[in-house]
Structures are given as structure tokens and as C-alpha cells.
Amino acid sequence: MATANRGQWSGKTGFILAAAGSAIGLGNIWRFPYTAGENGGGAFVLLYLAFVLLIGIPVVLAELSIGRTTEKNPVGAFKALVPNSLWPYLGGLGVLTGFGILAFYSVLAGWTLSYLYGGITGVYGGAMTAAESTAIFEHLIGDPTLSISLTAAFLFLTVIVVRKGVSGGIEKATKILMPLLLIILVGLAIRSLTLPGGVDGLVYLFKPDFTKITGSVIMSALGQALFSLSLGMGAMITYGSYFPKTENLHQAGMMVAAFDTTIAILAGIIIFPALFSVGVAPDAGPGLVFVVLPTIFGSLPGGQLFAIAFYALLSIAALTSTISLLEVVVAYFVDEKGWSRNNAAWILGALCFVLAVPSALSSGGSEMFTNFLGSGVDFLSWNNIIWGNYSLSLGALLITFFVGWKWGIPAAMESLESSGHKLPGAKLMGVLIKFVCPIAVGIVLIYIIVTQQYF
């Protein structure tokens, strides 16, 4: 069933690093800390961990089982499993979702390069007021030339990796980037824990206050568990399709989820002690990383080194995610349309850049895109709502329904255990995929439709 010369991971380690890199991104290091801060700290973290175990891991394994069985991209996978049906459109939705997310995610990723440069040049090493930090951020996102240039630079880096193939490009890059990311994370976490008053940040992060659990907190934790693992857009189907038949897939999938979750927790261990050490409130919201943190680097011993390491970490995490987003689309055109990988990477990267320009102009660079269609919502936010919320949720819902009710749990388990390694708790996993996951993801989708509160 496999397409000739598609490429393959060299082994389980290469897959784990690449797939973990796909999952690990700004969602872990930017979004998780501020979401935890907005939702009460420890109680949110406890819910998040529970949802990763009960929902996240089963959906990861469901997607991986489809990819391993078919050895194809999301569209080709559903064509192979259910020919002459509408199910390949689900694969098409995944490809479109990945491309749509990349078109605005690359803008956010470009911001990390600007902040890394600012750290290196000492912009964030000294004392800085909140007004000064806000002005720097607003200049960055409101300068059309700068924002577009940074987006182009990040997409260029992404294409350079993806065009080299699975083992020669993606795996080779992630084998360098992921250990580097982990070293920086651990180093920053240790440094943060030594800050005066840092223990209070740990208490906030890990001591649950159950009185703070509300319906909104529960939905935020479930949404974070789903979206931080790159579920619902076919990334795990694509990466699973390159997985060697002789390796233990379900173990690798669980390790990816564990890796992803550990990175998010480490990001919290870095940020909350730093906040508490200088008396900054933890519920600063989305501006936490780009506006609040620059104001406290100058108050920390070795603040410039802290800034450089942190924004290098953010840039690496963003790059490993943009690589997987582009790979989903490239795999489709290589498998289904017969394009060469090199041409697919460059053409799709260029097209994505064109589609990213409106998002790069949507934070003040252009009135038309800042207030898109007079809605009061900017173009980048609209893309996040459409692709990062509705489309991802719908994709994850339909994938769990497909595996649980159409393709079937026995077929999925056969794929996961095809290397001869039995899946512990296979019956429980089957129940979670068939019943619990579709209900949970369906609730998330209904919640964002009814309340219009987006993740």
C-alpha cells in the first residue's frame, strides 16, 4: 500500500523526536502558561493531565494507527481504508487545516525571531517598564515590513528542512533541535527555581484549588490537551505513515504525549517562579510571553542570558511545529499528485507565505485586515478561530468516530500491535476511543460554537 520512496524514520527515536517536535510548539511554551495562569493554576494543571491521559493519548494512537496501516498522507489513508466514500474528504480537511494554521502560525513564529534578536542585542537585558515593553510589541506587530519579513524568514527555514525529506531533513533537524530545546528548558527551569520567592510560583502551579474549577476551566483544560498534541489535522497520520513496521508504535505514541506534556509543565516551572519572584500576577493572559516577561528579565540575575535562552527555546519549538504543518501538505502532493518533494516544499511554502501576508498585516499594518470585514476581529484571529478551533475540533471528532465506529477498534489495535508488542490496557483504550473521546471532543466543539470562547 505504501508509495515508493516516500521515506521513513530511521527508528523509534527519530519518530519520537519528530512527532514530539510536531506537538511541541507555541501552544506548550506560550499558551499553556498563560492559560494555566488565567484558570487558577494547579486545578487547571490537574485537569489538563487527566485529559491528556483519557483523551489525548487515545486520539494520538487512533491517528497513528491509520498512518501506519496505510503508509499514506491523510487523504490517501482514507482512500485506502474506505475507497469510493466521502471519508477521504476528512483527510482533505486535515490537509487544509494544517495549511490554514501554518498561514497564521508562521506570523507568530516570526515574532519569536524578533524577540530572540532583542535578547541577543540586550534589548531585554535591562530594566523595562510595562509601557516600554508594550510599545516594542506593538511596533513589531504593527510594522508591515518587519512582520512580513519575519514571516518569510520563518517559512524559509521551514521549507529548507522539509524539502530534504523525512530522514534527511525532518528527522535530522529534530535530532538537533529537540535535545537543544530540552537542555534549554531544563537549564531555565533550574535557574527559575533558584530565584527568591520562586517557590510560591511552584505552589501556584501544582497545588490545586478545587474551588476554582468551573465549566470554563474544564473546557480550557480539555482544549489545551487536544490542541497541544497536534490532533485533528492529520499530522500524526502523516508521521505515523513513516513509522517502521518493526517498531513499537503504541509505546512511541505514548512517549510523544508524555514528552509534549512534560515540556508544557517545564514551561510553567520556568515562568511562574519568575513571575512570583518579582511580584507579577500570573493571570496576564496572551501577552505574558511577549509583553510581561520582557519587563521582568531586567529584575532577574543574568536577565539577558535568561531572555536569550527563553526566546531561543520559543523559536525552536515554533520551528518544529511549522515543519510538521508543512509536511502534512507536502506529503499529500507528493503521494497523490506525484510532485517531487523539493518542488512541493518550495511551491507550497511560497503559497503559504502569500496567504500569511494578511495575517502579518492584521495587527495594525493594515486597517482592512486589522478590522476584517468590519467584524472588530483581526484576520489572524479569524484564521485561528476557523482553523485552530472549529476545523481542528471537527477533524479530531470525525477521526475518533471513524476509528471507533467505521474502521473499527479491532483494526486499529491490530495496527498498533503489528510489531508484536501488545498494547497494555487495550480494552480500556478501545472504550476511550469509541465512546469517551468522541463525546469529549464533541462537547468542546459545541462549547466553542455556543459560547464563542476560543482556545
Q: Is the pLDDT of residue 445 over 70?
A: yes
The pLDDT, as a whole number, for residue 281 is 79
Residue 1 is predicted with a pLDDT of 42
Backbone φ, ψ for residue 126 (5° rounding):
-110, -170
Distance CA 376, CA 234 (A): 32
pLDDT band at 2 (very low <50, low <70, confident <90, very high): very low
On average, the pLDDT of the chain sits at 92
CATH number for the domain harbouring residue 375: 1.20.1740
In a domain, 5, yes or no: no
Output the nine-digit C-alpha cell for 61. 494512537
Bin 5: left if φ > 0, else alpha if -120 < ψ < 50, else beta.
Answer: left
End-to-end CA distance of the chain: 37
Q: pLDDT for 357-375, tens place per residue? A: 999 999 888 999 999 988 8
Q: How confident is the model at residue 5 (pLDDT cuts 50, 70, 90)?
A: low
Q: What is the mean pLDDT of residues 77-85?
A: 96
Which has more confidence, 296 or 140? 140
Residue 242 has pLDDT above 90, yes or no: yes
What pLDDT was estimated at residue 228? 83
pLDDT band for position 198 (cuts 50, 70, 90):
confident
Please report whether residue 7 resides in a domain: no
Nearest to 1 by CA among 97, 100, 68: 68
Answer whether residue 2 is part of any domain. Answer: no
Q: Is the residue at 4 inside a domain?
A: no
Tell me what percent of the residues of the chain surpass a pLDDT of 90: 72
Exposed e or buried b per residue across 27-44, where buried means at least 16 C-beta atoms within 10 angstroms of its C-beta: bbbbbbbbbbbbbbbbbb
The most confident of the ranges 89-103, 111-125, 259-273 is 89-103
CA-CA distance, 149 to 153, in Å (whole number)? 6
pLDDT tens-place string over residues 122-159: 888 777 888 888 899 999 999 999 999 999 999 999 99
Helices 12-23 and 249-277: angle between axes, nearest 10 degrees: 40
Owning domain of residue 92? 12-451
Asked whether residue 420 carries a pLDDT value surpassing 60, the answer given is: yes
Render the burial of 389-405: b for 16+ CB within 10 Å, e for the rest.
Answer: bbbbbbbbbbbbbbbbe
Query: Does residue 1 lie in a domain region?
Result: no
Confidence (pLDDT) at 25: 86
Query: What pLDDT does residue 34 have?
Result: 87
Q: Is the pLDDT of residue 284 over 80?
A: no
- Once rounded to an integer, what is the mean pLDDT over residues 29-44? 90
Q: Residue 446's pLDDT band (boundaries 50, 70, 90)?
A: very high
Based on the structure, what is the number of domains in the chain?
Answer: 1
